[in-house]
Amino acid sequence: MEVIPAIDLLGGRVVRLLRGDYQRATVYAHDPVALAQTMREAGVTRLHVVDLDAARDPAAGNRDLVARLAGLPGLAVEVGGGIRDRAAAARWFDLGVRLVILGTLAAEQPEAAIAIAEEWPRRVLVGLDVRGTTVATRGWLTEGGDGPLALLRRFAGAPLGGVVHTRIERDGTLEGIDAGGLAEVVAASPHPVIASGGVAGLADVEAARAAGAAGVIVGKAYYEGRLDLSAAIALASAGEG
């Protein structure tokens, strides 16, 4: 299982939102590139980057900054936030991003998202951002439509790189992951599932692994000194091979 630190960008700074609320943002770093280099030195090989500005307004965003992150050697960058058509996905791939996350597009126009996945096999992640029993979209500001398992079924035959399952109610709370909900998604998905939301420490890394996740995204626990990345990586990879 991979340990994937989150770098959420708002106005060029690294922040964490509480349950996706833009009015409850805590700033943790003013130099995202230096932070990513520190993470790489701890053994990280993959970054989860969310452009929160673009999630609210696709015309805005931190494109140059994400491109710098994608250009760092030894780090694979997955990026989400405001990627709502083929052209937006293509721009990120041209800038060196390894994977793109489609959330709103996947929920609202699944056939368009599948077409992107077919053009770039294994390089598209579906963002399954769940609040209650529904999938949230547009920067988590709206919700409705298919439930998470119904949305998963729509993508069963698509050549995805995986699914990012986020429990919005737990995101940024340090309350622990929703292990039961995660296990349900893992069982229903033919694609690798990455767990996100609520990680508080090493126990949650182990719980994600036990639930069958292919990866776990860590954010606030790292930023507040509750989780050591090197220790988390060692725990996640224990027993491999």
Q: CA 140, CA 90: separation in Å to the nearest integer?
A: 23
DSSP letter at 95 equals T
For residues 126 and 83, is the Cβ–Cβ distance under 8 A? no
The residues annotated as belonging to the active site are 8, 129
Residue type, 61: G
Strands annotated E in the chain: 2-10, 13-18, 21-29, 46-51, 76-80, 99-102, 124-131, 134-137, 142-143, 162-167, 193-196, 215-218
**CA-wise closest residue to 32 among 72, 4, 60:** 72
Task: Tell me the three state secondary structure of residue 215.
Answer: strand
- How many C-beta neighbours within 10 Å does residue 35 have? 18
Side-chain half-sphere CA neighbours of 149 within 13 A: 10
- For residue 204, what are the CA distances in angstroms to 184, 212, 217, 233? 16, 12, 10, 12
Q: CA 196, CA 170: separation in Å to the nearest integer?
A: 9
